[in-house]
Amino acid sequence: MQYSLAALLRNALSGNTHWSPAWRDPQPKPSYDTIIIGGGGHGLATAYFLAKEHGITDVAVLEKAYIGSGNVGRNTTIIRSNYLLPGNTPFYEWSLKLWEGLEQDINFNAMVSQRGVLNLFHSDGQRDAFARRGNAMRLNGVDAELLGPNEVRRLHPLLDLDNPRFPVKGGLLQRRGGTVRHDAVAWGYARAADRRGVDIIQNCEVTGLRIESGRIIGVETTRGTIHAKRIGLAVAGNSSRLAAMAGMRLPIESHVLQAFVSEGVKPLIDQVVTFGAAHFYISQSDKGGLVFGGDIDGYNSYAQRGSLPIVEDVMSCALALFPSLGRLRYLRQWGGIMDMSMDGSPIIDRTPIEGLYLNAGWCYGGFKATPASGWCFAHTIATGQPHAFNAAYRLDRFASGHVIDEGGKGAVPNLH
């Protein structure tokens, strides 16, 4: 047994230098049945489900840097399924169900914590919109509770409910929502996929796609040419760059989103709380640091760092909700590059190139989607057809007018 009390003692006495790696570091083979480009959460989950659900184990995951270096290791770890529209609700609820069974499934402690996600509202109009959202969720079998200000006050005594500009009128609570340790998701899926025979190849950047008479036949990489008859793109913020290698232009812009962590303190905020008057959300990690973030910087970016106006904006949102946080110092801040789609919803679909599949457009909400995205993308690649759960996430919906306007802002581009 690799992990046991005896192994723990033995390795502690030898300075923890003899643990064997949790997954192999194979050389790329000249060809595979299926290649997944991108070793983030979605790519690793896809490889895992290809092996587990469809028996396809001749699979390589090609990652240009190391596992977890992308958004899967940069997000604020929030999971939820509080969606309104028919194209979204079943998909995100399936994802939450997969989160609920994740640790048993992959035998890895990912610290899935269903502490609840509370979305605050600040006006009568917003209460109506949230009541409607909660009702739509319940009609779809998803849990939702509409709370008044007193119930919110009991849950979060530090909130400034009587803020004169944005008084808290209540909140929509999804108790099954919460947080998951993001790095553990990458590691857990990597190990589980590896054990089923998937090759995880790090430091292998895809530099070109080989296409012959409308069919994908392989990839050019920094470690040579690798052939495959099916290839899935799951490269998040780099989706447009990879698609351009196949001559495609996507309905996507890449933008940076920042996140912040404060010094560690005793338990202060038990749930995930979001501000309804501006873009801001906060939770507390198990180490005690407050983890929070807000808006994207707002202009195309491939630089994994943010700018100062957003720092100021996020901090003022934090203080508007929880004035007592003014005494805290923030320790760390970073950015990740996100694939912002034009209607704010993702794409899991085939492409006009035979054998080439696309998983993209996750905006700032793709972490919670990780298990279902992998599950649906694996289904789409293995069968050549989308599953009912991802049927609405079509690439051609922008041309056909079937955009998914979850935010309810109307059918205009740049909805993000």
Partner 1 sequence: MRLTCPYCGSRGNDEFVYLGSADPVRPSHHDAPAEQWTAYVYERTNPAGAHRELWHHSFGCRSWLIVTRDTRTHEVLKTEPARDAAHTSSEVAVP
Instruction: Give me the residues that bind partner 1 (CB under 8 A), please.
Output: 238, 240-241, 244, 249-254, 298-303, 307, 309, 342, 398-399, 413-414
**Angle, helices 370-383/41-54, rounded to nearest 10 degrees:** 50
Q: What does each C-alpha distance from 410 to 166, 313, 393 come to in angstroms?
A: 25, 26, 18
Which residue type occupies 326? Answer: G
Q: Is 74 in the site for ligand FAD (CB under 6 A)?
A: yes
> Which of 35, 36, 41, 56 is close enough to bind ligand FAD by CB under 6 A?
41
Contacting range for ligand FAD; rule: CB under 6 A; set: 61-69, 88-96, 165-173, 209-217:
61-69
Closest distance between partner 1 and the C-beta of residue 334, in Å? 16
Range list of β-strands (E), 162-242: 170-174, 178-179, 199-201, 206-212, 215-221, 224-233
Among 39-47, 51-59, 99-107, 141-149, the segment contacting ligand FAD (CB under 6 A):
39-47
Residue 228 interacts with ligand FAD (CB under 6 A): yes or no: no
Indicate the residue among 200 and 259 with the shorter CB distance to ligand FAD. Answer: 259
The item of partner 1, ligand FAD, none sharing an interface with residue 251, based on CB under 5 to 8 Å by kind, is partner 1
Q: Which does 309 bind (CB under 5 to 8 A by kind): ligand FAD, partner 1, none?
A: partner 1
**CA 188, CA 55: separation in Å to the nearest integer?**
19
- The one-letter code for the residue type at 82 is N
CB of 158 to ligand FAD, least distance (A): 21
For the purposes of burial, counting CB atoms within 10 Å of the CB of 299, is it exposed (0-12), middle (13-18) or buried (19 or more)? exposed
**Amino acid of residue 1:** M
Please select the residue that binds ligand FAD; options are 35, 50, 60, 78, rule is CB under 6 A: 78
Q: Kindly report the backbone phi and psi dihedral angles of residue 347, in degrees, each rounded to the nearest multiple of 5, phi listed first.
A: -125, 125
- Residue 227, C-beta contacts closer than 8 angstroms, at least 6 positions apart: 30, 31, 32, 210, 217, 218
Please answer whether residues 348 and 380 qualify as being in contact, where contact means their C-beta atoms are separated by less than 8 angstroms: yes
Classify residue 266 by its DSSP letter. Answer: S
Beta carbon of residue 67, minimum distance to ligand FAD (angstroms, whole number): 7
Rounded CA separation 410/407 (Å): 8
Q: Is 63 in the site for ligand FAD (CB under 6 A)?
A: yes
Contacts of 146 (CB under 8 A, 6+ apart): 127, 130, 131, 134, 170, 171, 172, 173
Binding to ligand FAD, residues 316-355 (CB under 6 A): 336, 338
Query: Is 358 a residue that touches ligand FAD (CB under 6 A)?
Result: no
Burial of 230 (0-12, 13-18, 19+ CB in 10 A): buried
The residue (of 107 and 414) whose beta carbon lies closer to partner 1 is: 414
By the rule CB under 6 A, 90 interacts with ligand FAD: no
Name the minimum Å distance from CB 64 to ligand FAD. Answer: 4
Residue in the shown chain whose Cβ atom is closest to ligand FAD? 40
What does 338 bind: ligand FAD, partner 1, none (CB cut-off 5 to 8 Å by kind)?
ligand FAD
Specify the residue for token string 């979305």: 119
Nearer Cβ to ligand FAD (65/412):
65
Query: Closest approach of Cβ 99 to ligand FAD, in Å?
Result: 11
Strand partners, 233: 37, 358
Hey, what are 261's tokens? 């962590």
Helix (H, G, I), strand (E, B) or coil at 164: coil
Please identify, using beta-carbon distances, which residue of 119 and 351 lies nearer to partner 1. 351
Residues within the interface to ligand FAD (CB under 6 A): 37-43, 62-65, 69-72, 74-78, 205-206, 234-236, 238, 242, 257-259, 293, 336, 338, 362, 364-368
